[in-house]
Amino acid sequence: MTHSLDQLQISLPSPEQRITPDWKNAERLQIWVKRDDLIHEVISGNKWRKLRQSIRYAQTNHIQHIVSFGGGHSNHLHALGYVCSALKIKLTAIVRGHYHNNDTPMLRDLKAWQADIQFVDRKTYQLRDDDAYLAALSQQYPNAMFIPEGGSSAHALTGVSEILRELRQTYDYILAPVGSGGTLAGLIAGASAQISDKQANIIGIGVLKGQDYLEKLVSNLLLKQALVPVQQANWHIEHGFHFNGYAKTTPELTAFCQHVNHTLDIPIEPVYSGKLFWAAKTLIEQNTFAKDSRILLLHTGGLQGARN
């Protein structure tokens, strides 16, 4: 029996919320937030955008088993685990690190949703995109569909690009956090496909140490899907806001997230959305954007980084 995606009760389109933060120079600009964190209570933000087409493909092709990858706090695995449980699809989660005696809240949820969790060491996890390793896993899990880390598959770009079709107004700049590259690649593909005299400048905010690496991830995703148009969107990645690495934070960043939560009533966390908002604040204070520019921050949801 195939379970309908409608039963997930996804709320789209997500709202565009104007904010007036207490940041220097903010009054010179129009600042909005695309609240993808409100799409669903569990399947939050870009995780649903990147998963939707993959799940549709699995259902259309009667695939009953999905294998994917992530860390012990993975927003992607958390969202995928919920979806698979609701739609009665088996999930095998290959998790970086050994949490046998130290479950995270995310892993406890996966267990409650009957996911098959396989812990691997970091050296093995680094092979997650290696053809030989994936071939061996395919032998181990025949008839399973593999979804890359972060959900950044071929299907992801199509799902993310739908964000731009939802927008109710035009923006000069769109800012989004970058981890596995799928969200930024989807935005670039969507913007490039738009017939418009004025495309938004798309700025990725690297949430990990990845100069050149992140650019290559994004470019490879576009190339693999033949989604590099002649007139490619204007995009770049800012690398000064990763706070020394993925999931790394400081007391200052933690306090900033709490301040945004309190003053703007928008939940953010230090791993993704907190670094996005911090970067926006810094760039605005540096007068990076021309007066009266319209700026959209893409809240990609995923609050596992805020759970203890």
Q: What is the mean pLDDT of the chain?
A: 92
User: What confidence score (pLDDT) does residue 45 get?
Assistant: 84
Entry pTM: 0.90
Q: Is the pLDDT of residue 3 over 70?
A: no
State phi, psi for 206 to the nearest 5 degrees.
Answer: -65, 125
Ranges of H-type helices in the chain: 46-60, 75-87, 105-112, 122-125, 131-140, 154-166, 182-193, 213-224, 251-264, 273-285
Q: What does the alpha-carbon distance between residue 42 and residue 25 come to, in Å, rounded to a whole number?
A: 35
User: What confidence score (pLDDT) does residue 227 get?
Assistant: 56
Q: Is the pLDDT of residue 2 over 70?
A: no
Secondary element (H or E) of residue 17: strand 16-19
User: What confidence score (pLDDT) does residue 231 get?
Assistant: 55
User: What confidence score (pLDDT) does residue 230 get?
Assistant: 44
Query: Mean of the pLDDT values across residues 151-162?
Result: 89
User: What confidence score (pLDDT) does residue 226 get?
Assistant: 62
Q: Is the pLDDT of residue 284 over 80?
A: yes
Assign 294 a pLDDT band (cuts: 50, 70, 90).
Answer: very high
Catalytic residue among 74, 85, 153, 180: 74
Report, in angstroms and rounded to the nearest whole number, the Rg of the chain calculated over CA atoms.
19
Torsion 38-255-20-25 (CA) sign: negative
Query: Mean of the pLDDT values across residues 92-113?
Result: 93
User: What confidence score (pLDDT) does residue 89 get?
Assistant: 97
Summarised one tens digit per residue, pLDDT across range 52-72 is 999 999 999 999 999 999 999
Query: Mean of the pLDDT values across residues 89-118?
Result: 94
> Around Cβ 100, how many Cβ atoms within 10 Å?
9
Query: What are the structure tokens assigned to 2, written together?
Result: 């195939």
Q: Is the pLDDT of residue 136 over 50?
A: yes
Active-site annotation holds for 74: yes
Return the closest-CA partner of residue 241 out of 265, 210, 216, 264: 210
Summarised one tens digit per residue, pLDDT across range 195-246 is 666 789 999 999 999 999 999 999 988 887 665 554 577 999 999 999 999 8
Which range scores top for mean pLDDT: 22-26, 36-40, 226-230?
A: 22-26
Query: Mean of the pLDDT values across residues 32-53?
Result: 92
Q: Which carries the bigger pLDDT value, residue 149 or residue 195?
A: 149
Q: What does the alpha-carbon distance between residue 141 and residue 138 come to, in Å, rounded to a whole number?
A: 5
Assign 7 a pLDDT band (cuts: 50, 70, 90).
Answer: confident
Question: Exposure string (b/e) for 221-257, b if CB count within 10 Å is 16 or more?
Answer: bbeebebeeeeebebebbbebbbeebbebeeebeebb
